[in-house]
Structure 1
C-alpha cells in the first residue's frame, strides 16, 4: 500500500486528494456575556462565501506541492527521460532481498523509504541496501497516519527513525515520504524549517493490493513519463503478497530501458543531497 498501514496493515497509501474539512465552530448558546475580543464573528454564508483565506483551509496534497515547491515533490523534471524507482514499507526478509537481487542483476539504483521500527529489526538488510548503492529515505517509525498526530508525536515519528538510520548508515536522510502520502500544512512547514524534503510520487503501481506481475507492470507502464517517481513496495503486512512486484521488476526495467529511460535515485532526479 502506498506504504502499508499505520503498522503496515491499514488503509491504502493511495495519494489522498484532499484532507477532511474541519468541523464548523459551534455557536455559543450560553447567555453569559463575553468580552468583544473573545467573540467569534458569525460569517453569513452568502455575503462572505469564497472569502476565507487559503491559510485557514486544509489544503490538498497537490495544493501543498504548489504552495511549497521547494519542500514538497511529486516528480522530477520532464526535460530528461530519467525516472526513479522507489520502494516503501521495508525492510523485511520476505521481499526486500528479492527486490535487491533484481536491481543488482539489472544494475539499477533505487530509493528505499524505510520504517524506523523495521530498520531496527532488520539492520543487515538496511546495510545491504546502502552497500549496493541505493538511497535510504525516512518513512516514519511505525507507518502512522501523520495528519492525525499531535505535533510532538509527528516529530517523534521522524526523529526516532532518523536516529535508528543514522546509527546504521552513517547519515540522516534528507528525504521523507509520509505514509499514505498524507501530511498537513503545519507538518510541511516543520519539514521545511528542519531542512528535510517531502517526496511523494506521480506513478502508483498499486502493488500493495497484492496484484499480479502483469497488473503491476501495466499500471506502471501506462503512467510513466520523463521525471516520474514510481511507487512500489518492498515490505508490508504479513497478509500482503508482493511477489507480483518482484516478478514485474525485471521486465519493467527492460521495457523502460528499451523506451529510452535512465534509472536514477531520487536525489539524482531532484538534484538534491541524500542527507541533511
Structure 2
C-alpha cells in the first residue's frame, strides 16, 4: 500500500472517530464500545516506516486496536400514526337528578279553547238539520202548505214560468174558465219572456218568487241563497210593478236558518199539500187523478207551466180544463194564494 493511500485512510478514520465521539456526547443513552481495526503504521521522521517492535522479524506483530465509544444505534424511524381526534369536552358534571316522575295524562281542553274538528261539526250539522216535515211542525206559521179548511176554497199554483209554449196555453185555459191562479216565476225566465210576465199580471193572476235560476237552496251558502231571492226580485219588480211577498223554494226545500231569514225580510214561504207530479211528464188522466183524489178545503195544488229543455207538460195542459170543471162542480172556489192565506201579495 503506498503512503498516499495510507494517509487518506488514516484521515478518514480520524474524522469518523471524531464524529462518533460528538454523537455519543450528544446522546442521552450510554455509549456502546466499538472496536476499530488497528491504525496503519505511521511513517517515521526520516520518511520511512517504523518497524513494529517484535523480536522476530518473521512473526507479524499483533495489530493495535483503538476503542471508540459509539452511541447506541437509533431505532428505525416509525411513520407517525394518524392523529386521534380528541374526545369532546364533557360539560361540567351536573348534580344527580332524581328519576323523573311518570307524566300525568294531559288534561282535556275545554270546548272554548279547543275548536271542534271539522268532520264532527259537519256530522253534527247533518244530524241537526231539520227535514221539511220537521220544519213545518216547528214553524207552522212560517212554512205554509195549505190554507184554512173553514171555507171550500183551493188555489191553483204554477211553477217555473214563464215560457213561450206552456205558459200561454195555461193562461188561455184559465181565462176561458174565469179562474185566477198564482204563478211562481224564475227571474232569468222573466228576463227572457217579459211580455208573457206582463200578460200574467194583466189577466189578474198573482206572481211569486221562485228564485232566479232554480238552484237548490239547501246546497247554497247564505250569501248565494239570498242572492237567488234578491236577484229574482230585481228582475220581477220592473215587470209586475211590485216586489213579490210570496216565496216558493225550488223543489220545496229550505233550511231552518234560511226560513228564519225570510221571516225577518217579510216573505211568506208557501209550498203545497197536493202535488200533481206533472213534472214527471205524466198523462192528463194521471195528473187529474193526483189532484182530484186528494182535494180538500184549503188545498194548495202544485202544477207547472214551464219546464226544462225538452220537458213535456202536455199532460198538465190537457188535464187543466177537466180539473177546473170538476172542482167547480164539487163546490170549490178557485182563488189566488193571497186570498186563500189572507196575506198581501207584495212586500
Counterpart of 1:268? Answer: 339
Counterpart of 2:179? Answer: 108
Separation in 2 of the partners of 1:32 and 1:101? 76
Gaps of 5+ in 1: 1-30, 43-52
Counterpart of 2:113? Answer: 38
Counterpart of 2:245? Answer: 174
Separation in 1 of the partners of 2:277 and 2:284? 11
Larger Rg: 2
Counterpart of 2:153? Answer: 82
Q: 1:211 aligns with which of 282, 297, 313?
A: 282
Separation in 2 of the partners of 1:104 and 1:233? 17
- 2:207 equivalent to 1:130: no
Residue by residue over 1:73-132, the C-alpha shift from the partner in whole angstroms, topping out at 9 and shown as x without a partner, is: 000011111000000011000100000000000000000001000001100000000000
RMSD, aligned CA = 2.2
SS in 2 for 1:189: helix
- Give 1:38 shift: 3.0
Counterpart of 1:98? Answer: 169
Separation in 2 of the partners of 1:234 and 1:33? 63
**Which deviates further from its counterpart, 70-79 or 142-151?**
70-79
- 2:293 equivalent to 1:222: yes
TM-score by length of 1: 0.81
- Give 1:188 shift: 0.2
Separation in 2 of the partners of 1:174 and 1:151? 19
TM-score by length of 2: 0.65
- Give 1:34 shift: 7.3
Tell which has more relative contact order, 1 or 2 (C-alpha 8 A, sep 6+). 1
- 2:184 equivalent to 1:117: no
Q: 2:323 aligns with which of 228, 241, 252?
A: 252
Residue by residue over 1:31-73, the C-alpha shift from the partner in whole angstroms, topping out at 9 and shown as x without a partner, is: 998742234799xxxxxxxxxx99x721111221222222210
- 2:222 equivalent to 1:151: yes
SS in 2 for 1:162: helix
Q: 2:136 aligns with which of 59, 65, 70?
A: 65
Cα pair distance change 1:152/1:40, threshold 3 Å: closer
Counterpart of 1:161? Answer: 232
